Structures are given as C-alpha cells and as structure tokens.
Structure 1
Amino acid sequence: MATLRIATFNLENLAVEPDDDRDPTLDARIAVLRPALQRLDADVLCLQEIHGHRDGDSGPWRLEALDRLVEGTDYAAFHRAATWKTGDPANGAAYRRNLVTLSRYPVVAQQQYLNDLTPAPRWRPITAVDDAGNRPETRDYSWERPVLRARLDLSAVAGGGRQMDVINLHLKSKLPTAVPGQQETWYRWKTARGWAEGFYISSIKRVGQAIEVRALLDQLFEAAEADGEDAWIAVCGDLNADIESVPVRAIRGEVEDHGNPDLLGQVMVACERTVPDSKRFTLYHHGRGAMIDHILVSRPMIACYRDTQVHNELLHDESVGYAYDSKYPESDHAPVVAHFDLA
C-alpha cells in the first residue's frame, strides 16, 4: 500500500550542550526522544527548535544534536532541508531554533522566507524608555525565525511526477517581547502596562508571520492553477495558537472568513479535526491542554487522508513550579502525525 505519513514535532531546544544544570544532557534527551521519533514512522518529519553547534569560536554552525539524535534510525538517511543564517545557506545553521524538514523522498527545491513576502510591521513603543529617560523612535519588528519551504518529489510513491510543498514554521510564542526599561528580569516586569505592550508586540509578530505564510500559499496555489495542476501543500509546525485563533485562521483561509467562494480551492484543512476532543492537545499548561502544533493540508490531499494521531500520553505540565527540563528530558510538546493512503 502506498502510504504517506507527515509529522511535526517541536523538540524543545535540542542542543549538544545544556545551557545550565537545570537542563538535561543530550544523551538523556536522546534516550526518550529517539523512540518517540521511531514511533511516528514518518515519511516527512518537520522539526522545530533544533540548535546549532560548532567547535570553538569560528566556522559554520552544524546540526550536530540532530545528527546524534537520528543516528541509527531511518531518519539518518532521509533527505534534509533546514533554515540557515541570513544571506547564504553556506553560512550554516542559525545558532538557535532552526527548522528542519526530513524527507524519505528527494528535496528538489527549498527556500526560507523572513519578511520577504510581507514587510516587518512598524510600531512606536508606548512604555519603553532608554537610559536617559527618552522614548525610542518607531522601529520595525521582524519575525524571530524564518519560514522554511521544501518541495518534495513524491513520484516514487504517488507517481505521475507528483510534487508536494511542505511549509515548516514556528510562530512567535505568547511570551511578551522585551520592552526597554520595562523589565527587572526576563520574567519580572516593572509595570503591567509594559508587560501588556510586550504581549501585544508578540501578537503582532505571530499574526504578521501567519500573513506571510498565507501570501506564500496564495503564490503556490496560483502557480499550480496556472499550470493546470492540483496543489499538494502541507503546513506543519508549532503555531503557538489554537485552530480558531487569528494566526491559524489566516493560514487556513476559510470561505466563511473571507466570504469568497471562488477561493474555495485555496483553503487549508486542519487534520486535527478528526482527532477526538479528549486527545486534541499538544501542550499541557496550568492544568489545561492546548492544541498549538498543527498539520494543515490543501484540499486535493483530503482525497487520500485517513487519520491523525497526537502522541500526548507522556506530556507533563510545563508550568509547574520547579519543573526543570532535567526532570522532563523529552519535550513539552507532543508530536502530531497525519496518515495518507495514496493507493
């Protein structure tokens, strides 16, 4: 049977060396993460928060932690697309939080987008002050991570020269953006209004990057239509937002939101809708589950869609006091895998 399994998993700061003694070692993380990856049995695996590593103070950053994690698994031989430092892929990976897409099938093209399709929004801080007590000028607030697109050749499993675009992304978290002069520490704010402004700026980044993803989707749909083809597209990743939030709705592009039935073919479908409510969460925070990791696919793929699983049996509450990562070396996110039957 010709099957396709697409998965997404935020590995939560996968690094060769822990930041401090509250973080687990890479060996401790591999012991629990490798079985989780093998259980997914994915043909296409979108990963987030992969840190780079280099020896000494020079040379390109490499994805050594990921290489060690997948060693001895099928994923070690998969084709790979990954984000890179601004300018040139030859610069190597970024220092922190790279996006990586592993594929059983060849990667025929890849591109990353960071304010390439939408400009960074401008905002003049309301509460920020510099050391002299002056308010800063208006500035641009760019996204913190690029969007990664990989075009895969599925001819071996789907035939007919079939290709699929996989968009891997990690939207801004709900943690407030730093506001000059308004913080005593990273988690302690001087004023509630300062915290509120930082929270607002983070929401701008999250929605803004979702708009950039939607702009990319529109381009892909329009190009496929011009060629007389069905667009096979999957958007996977940690969106830090649930299905009914503004960022996810912007990416989905439902007709009931924009009101134009001529755009029905450009709707992205959330695979999680077939998951029972009791299992539909990928993060556990303050005693409540939230589905913030998603797999969205274009409508032509629904003909092949079978089911989605969320592997959340071992999720811990990441908000509990003193719940240091050294006690929970797996991840604070659950992986999601969607199954398609291409026969």
Structure 2
Amino acid sequence: MSESRYTVRQLGWYQPPHGDPYTRRVPTAVPVAGFDTFDAAEEHRRELEAGARVGENPFRFGGCSVFFQSSLDGMRLHDWLMDEGIDPPASELRHGDWHEWWAAFAHTWTEGQLHHAWSAFDKVRFFDVIEEPQSVAHAVIEIVWGLLERDWNAMTAGTEGGRLMGVYRRTARAERFRAELSRDRNAGGGRYRYDRRAGYSADPHNPIPARQATFYEALAVPSDVPPFAGVGYLVQRRAVIDTFAGTVWRTRPPADARVPVALYASRSDAIEHRDRLAAESRQVLNPFVFADPAHGAATEGAREELAALELPLPVPSGDRRRDWIEWWDLCQEDVSDEQRAAVWRACDQPMFEVLRVEVADE
C-alpha cells in the first residue's frame, strides 16, 4: 500500500456475564492514536500496555489453556520464569493452578521480574500497533437491527458492522450516497436505539424516532486502490459480537453483517491479508465462543469430520455452547496448526472473507 502511518489500537476482550470464568479475546480493535513513526507508536503502546496490566492475572484471559496466554508451552514457560528467579511450583500444571499461583505470588516479585513474566504472555495483549496507508476508501454500510427481550417496541442496532451498500474513494461522495439512502428510512416510523454500538447514545430509556435515527454509516478503510481503477478487493470480517455478548435478544440482528477491514487493488494481496488475519485469529480465539455449535460443528456431518481428525479429546455429545468452548480450550496443548485450522473450517463460519467490489470515484 502507499505511504504509511502507524496506529495504536486497543484490542477487544469480553467477559461473559455468566458461566465462563475467562475474559475472551474478540476480533475487534479500536484505534486510539496515530503516529508518523513506528518508534513513537510503539512507545505509546508500551505505556498503555503497562497501565492495562496493573493488577491483572494473565491466566484469566483467553481460555483454559496456556496456549491462549503464551506461545510457550507449560514447560518452556516454567523455564522462562526460572531464568529471572521466579519459582513456579511445577512445569506441568492444571490451568487453574497457574491462575492461583499467579494470584498468590505475583505481588512479591520485583518490577523487573513482573515485566519479565508478562513478556512471556504474547497472546495477552491489550494494545497493538499496525502500519496503515495514508490513503483510505469509504465503505457505506447499512446498520442491521434486532429486538431486545427488555423492549420489543424499539429496534436495536447490531453492535458492529452492517450490510455493504457501496465503496467510494472520496469522502464527500460516500456521504452523499449515505444521505440519499437515509432519506426514505428517516421518513418512516418506529423507534430505534443503539445500545452498545460505538458512537451513539446508549440510553435504553430514550429510543429515538426514525426521523432522528442513523440507518447507514460511511466507514473509512485503508486502501491502495488508485484513482479510476473501478474495482477493488475488500477484506471483511464477520460481525460476531452479537452472537455471544451479554445482550439478551428476542430477535438477533441478521448474521450477514460484516465489518470492512481493508481495500486492495490486487486480489492476491487481499487474499494474503485475509489469510494472515485468519491464522492470527486461530492462535488467540476459541471459535465456539462465536459459533452456534448446533448449526456448525455439532451437526452429524461435522462430527464425523472432527472424529476423523483424531483430536486429543472426544467431541462433546450435545450442542451446548459452553461444553464446546471448554472442550476446545482443553484440546489446545495437543493439537497441530493443521488440526486447528480444520476445526475452524468445521464451524463453517469463516471469520474473514474477500469480496470483489466496484469502487466509485465520483
């Protein structure tokens, strides 16, 4: 892509309200600051990261396996800690033992020891730095809506993403198209709320009428598509937050919502980006947090596919999401990257995709 700048982002974590003791990684990232050089961005990230770690226990993040906290397995993590004079009780422990050990002893370590320990937990990060081009395109999306159990009389916006309506190189043209689309919707009826969607009032007691509601958004995405190219390849992420987050839906927002990620002139570059994001996700996410097993891995055909993979533990017999999440957590120490990718495929819900789109200049 073109000349770059560096963006510090806050990475997404979510603590389920019931049943799951772990704060889970989610595939969201919110920009917090931009810099012209990597060194300046990295310095800011380190400051934010240090603040976010204070008082935290890394073993409560990610899932019930050291795999979700560190690229080191239990034995190598043990040795890493010993290098700085930190004495874990054993090299192979139940995950709960690691959690309790940290809670009992971390406060006794020096600042240097604590920094050394945290540096092993490369999968428990709260901020990152990404390189982005200066140029952007603008994806116009339609917000999708659902109904909450607590209020059937107001439509509630999906937490993220939407349906793609068009892609434009120029801000003014994207905004004009968004306004054109909005005109008819704003003339309609009904009441609307935005709940947990970023950038809106979350007051549950004051839904707004259609004439005041926003139904479409124009989102800036990094782009290397040159002027008058006419087409591009959009990397999108499946909008997943509403599949599992604490909101109690009577009718969930439609599952076809997507979050635009980046626009490329080259299909091969877009596919490379998609595959890199997918591989990174498999290292930190549990797919059953986001997927409904009853419509994916727990179907008869998928069970046979999973059984053929010779995974370390037998697959759950039911379709309760919590059982599948725990099962996959416990499999992590003994599965290969190939098996991990195959299980994600069995869920039949790719996290990222590439879409060929028309890119308008005027």
Could you tell me the TM-score, scaled by structure 1's length?
Answer: 0.26
Structure ID, larger Rg: 2
Could you tell me the TM-score, scaled by structure 2's length?
Answer: 0.25
Higher helix fraction (1 or 2): 2
